[in-house]
Structure 1
Amino acid sequence: MTHPDRQAREALGARLREIRKNAGFTARALAVIHGWPRSKMSKIELGRQTPSETDVNAWCRSCDAVDQIPDLIATLRNIETAYLETRRMRLPVRQRQSINWEAETKLMRWYEPWVVPGLLQTPAYAEALLGKVLDFYHGSRSDLEAMLAARMERQQVLYRGDHRFHFVIAEQVLHTTIGDNDAMVGQLDRLLIAMTLPRVVLGVVPLETEYVVPQSNFCMFDRRRVLVETITAELTITQPRELVLYEKTFQTLAEQAVVGNGARELIRKALESRSG
């Protein structure tokens, strides 16, 4: 299976090759213009070598594609920084990075299909969830206390400054068991309380909602970046064209979600099934 960063390099190379061809240059001609080895051209276009920002700028300017430079540079920076090993990203340093991002964000939009968003988790729920994550990746819970403390610290952003939060969760989140039954009851109660916060909107997408858009968990920080968690890595997305797609996806899910009394009713039904 091709690793995500290799796929990203190949996609970037394909875009640069298309730009070159549209401008009427052969690979050899463009290489001669910039004094590059012919092998460099083929390696970049096949995704075997990552170009520098200087390379991308020169390539686009020679091919009269200056308008594509910002998006290509964002793509390049993602290749260099976005695909980070989960082992590194799960450590408390990752939580502190989230605190910084959240503190500078005016509007956070967060979608979760399986678990409660971190900013809305109770300590018991978060401890159970983080414990399972550490078991899976490391077989050790040595970082659990520090990770839990950092996650709880992050939640202070809900009450400070002029931040706004729009959470959308699938109804499945209300039924996915994290920890024991008491932890779930406490977590569902916490969601009802969170809905009363003045700068928080919580929507729930009902179970039988029609599938309309591709879905994975993601969090949008204004219109600057999107964070997506996969099994092996966390992706920080900054390309303008991709941000537009995530914004479109979130808007679609938000329109499918019920809010206010509709959301409270779904949460209360989940609570009743736990309390029965």
Structure 2
Amino acid sequence: MTFDPEALGQSKTDLAETLKTLRKRAGRTQVWLAKRCNMSQTKISNIESAKLTPSLVDVELILRALDAPPELVSQVAALTRIANTEWQDVWSQRRTGLEKKQNELAGFEKSSSEFRYFLLSMVTGLLATPEYVRASLAGIPGDHSKAIAKKLERQAVLYDTSKRFTFILTEQAVRWPYLPAVAMAMQIDRLTSVSLLPNVRLGIIPLGSHMPVCPLNTFTVYDTRIATVETSTGAMVFRDRRDVSAYLDEFAVYDGYALFGDQARERLSEWASQFRS
């Protein structure tokens, strides 16, 4: 399926209107539909007014209750998948303030308990030193002091033992010389330190051995609900269960190639020593 960024916003309204029209054509009330789908009438109302984006499971229940024909089910399911996908371009984020994005990420972190990060080319903010955080925003015009402060503030979530984190970093993500040598060594030391937290698994994928898969993007999966995928011009946010499952499966593949624990820390120590020398 091809995603048109402009269609991603409109699709939520289209889906709401389609479901509302189907219910009315079937001669059913919101109360009747809510009972058949084991939902509240308020939820049905919010779905039909586009205040709430339904999951694919929600839509399947509604369509089954309304006895929708198979060809229509397929069309509405496709519309639901688009409605559950969000495109966030970097230019909009800069206009509204980068701290707003940090607040959104903090919200994901607050509402989730298991996190999986695949880091292809850079260290993520939760693992970054202050120098690395500042460098990551240095090329963007404007004052980003609030965004930097929020990024560093978010790191406290790592010490919440009710949450579980798995970070997998490629060798490129760890060793890319984003900072001067001494600062890079300190950044790698930070990774080693975080890897010792009891609720954190930190793995690295060294170059040099055969790995017959090729990652294309950095991505994060929150529980089994949301997957975010980063590109150079923005981020896609997926909530459709098939998309999220696909990224969970991909993450499991990389998990199998990664070094964890003492093996990872030994390799990190080697790389930090190389920067210091």
How does the TM-score come out when normalised to structure 1? 0.73
| Distance in 2 between residues matched to 1:118 and 1:130, nearest whole Å | 11
Distance apart, 1:73 and its partner CA: 5.5
TM-align CA RMSD: 3.2
Unaligned runs of 5+ in 1: 10-32, 35-51, 135-139
| Distance in 2 between residues matched to 1:66 and 1:240, nearest whole Å | 20
Q: Which secondary structure does the structure 2 equivalent of 1:93 belong to?
A: helix
| Distance in 1 between residues matched to 2:80 and 2:166, nearest whole Å | 26
Unaligned runs of 5+ in 2: 10-24, 27-49
| Distance in 2 between residues matched to 1:70 and 1:270, nearest whole Å | 51
| Distance in 2 between residues matched to 1:123 and 1:104, nearest whole Å | 25
Residue of structure 2 equivalent to 1:98: 105
Which whole-Å deviations, capped at 9, do the CAs of 1:48-88 have from their partners, x for residues lacking one? xxxx889x877995323687689545413235xx1122123
| Distance in 1 between residues matched to 2:154 and 2:83, nearest whole Å | 26
| Distance in 2 between residues matched to 1:68 and 1:3, nearest whole Å | 17
Residue of structure 2 equivalent to 1:163: 163
| Distance in 2 between residues matched to 1:157 and 1:58, nearest whole Å | 40
Counting aligned pairs with the same residue, the percent is 26
Q: Which secondary structure does the structure 2 equivalent of 1:162 belong to?
A: coil
Which whole-Å deviations, capped at 9, do the CAs of 1:129-162 have from their partners, x for residues lacking one? 1213x1xxxxx132x2111001001111111250
CA, structure 1 residues 186+70, in 2 after alignment: closer, same or farther (shift >3 Å)?
farther
> 2:83 is matched by which residue type in structure 1?
R
1:71–1:239 CA contact under 8 A, matched in 2: no
Residue 193 in 1 paired to residue 193 in 2? yes
Aligned residues: 228
Which whole-Å deviations, capped at 9, do the CAs of 1:193-216 have from their partners, x for residues lacking one? 001101000000111241325431
Which is further off, 179-188 or 61-70?
61-70
Residue 84 in 1 paired to residue 95 in 2? no
CA, structure 1 residues 117+6, in 2 after alignment: closer, same or farther (shift >3 Å)?
same
Residue 131 in 1 paired to residue 131 in 2? no
Residue of structure 2 equivalent to 1:177: 177
CA, structure 1 residues 202+68, in 2 after alignment: closer, same or farther (shift >3 Å)?
farther
Distance apart, 1:185 and its partner CA: 1.4
Q: Which secondary structure does the structure 2 equivalent of 1:83 belong to?
A: strand
Residue of structure 2 equivalent to 1:146: 146
Q: Which secondary structure does the structure 2 equivalent of 1:210 belong to?
A: coil
| Distance in 2 between residues matched to 1:95 and 1:215, nearest whole Å | 24
Residue of structure 2 equivalent to 1:234: 235
How does the TM-score come out when normalised to structure 2? 0.72
Residue of structure 2 equivalent to 1:42: none
Residue of structure 2 equivalent to 1:210: 211
> 1:123 is matched by which residue type in structure 2?
P
Residue of structure 2 equivalent to 1:259: 260
Which whole-Å deviations, capped at 9, do the CAs of 1:31-52 have from their partners, x for residues lacking one? xx99xxxxxxxxxxxxxxxxx8
| Distance in 2 between residues matched to 1:224 and 1:69, nearest whole Å | 23
2:205–2:257 CA contact under 8 A, matched in 1: yes
Give runs of aligned pairs for residues 40-119 of structure 1, distance below 5 A. 61-64=67-70, 72=78, 74-79=80-85, 82-89=86-93, 91-119=98-126
2:8–2:83 CA contact under 8 A, matched in 1: no
Distance apart, 1:192 and its partner CA: 0.8
Distance apart, 1:3 and its partner CA: 7.5
Which is further off, 85-94 or 98-107?
85-94
| Distance in 1 between residues matched to 2:73 and 2:215, nearest whole Å | 29
1:71–1:241 CA contact under 8 A, matched in 2: no
